[in-house]
Structure 1
Amino acid sequence: MIALPSSTRIFLACGTTDMRKGFDGLAVLVQQVLETSPHCGALFAFRGKRGDLVKLLWYDGQGLCLYSKRMDRGRFIWPTTKTGKVSLTSAQLSMLLEGIDWRRPERTTEPLLAG
């Protein structure tokens, strides 16, 4: 994934999205459903019904960028609510794109014991 500016806000569009939509269709969803301008510099993430495809829409200052990722195995973890948006950190977005449950990340290492 490309490096986003640290000030970039990240939003997930809750529920499912018709993944046939491209730049214009997703930009309209941002305006009408998320009630935000697609040109505000935030990154917007959308997931399809099957859960194996995600699209990211982001305005980089010159134009809209559209990225997509399809999982070979597994699904992207998504909020269960049907309306609205959820805000994420860049670390949570990275976990989401790797197929990790970003809502309950767990460390895989044991803490060091003093002794």
Structure 2
Amino acid sequence: MFRLASDLRVYLHREPIDFRAGINSLAIVVEQSMGLDPFQRAVFAFCNRRRDRIKLLIYDRSGFWMLLKRLEADRFHWPRSQEAVLTLTTEELHWLLDGINIAAVRRHPVRQYHSVG
């Protein structure tokens, strides 16, 4: 399993896409549908209608990477939201790729302490 750098931004395209789409088509979706720059330091994630495949589009200073993961028997837990584009951390993307329903994960709240005692 590969791991992405923790400082990458991750954007999920909420609606399923036609998985015949290649790098150029996905870059156009990023620009026109998501309103983002496909050349920025980020990962753009897309799924198909059956939710058994994910494509990742990444630009790395000299060209695009397109990665595909296909599940043989299961489905990805694609987040539900009213937003057209969701922002995740790379950790959450790894959870999604590993089959974890990130909507069900609950973290401890961030605490702001002013003193030790």
Same fold (TM over 0.5): yes
Number of residue pairs the alignment of both structures matches: 107
Unaligned runs of 5+ in 2: 107-117
Contact 1:16 1:46 in 2 (8 A): yes
Gaps of 5+ in 1: 107-115
Q: Which residue of 2 aligns with 1:113?
A: none
User: Is 1:69 the equivalent of 2:69?
Assistant: yes
Q: TM-score, normalised by structure 1?
A: 0.84
Q: TM-score, normalised on structure 2?
A: 0.83
| Alignment-mate amino acid for residue 91 of structure 2 | A
1:54 aligns to what?
54
C-alpha contact 1:15 1:82 (8 A) present in aligned 2: no
Percent identity for Structure 1 against Structure 2:
36
Distance, in Å, in 1 between the alignment partners of 2:62 and 2:82 is 32
The Cα of 1:37 is off from its aligned counterpart by 1.0
Structure 1 moving runs of 4+ over 2 Å: 1-6, 79-83
State the Cα RMSD in Å. 1.8
CA contact (8 A) 2:6 2:91 kept: no
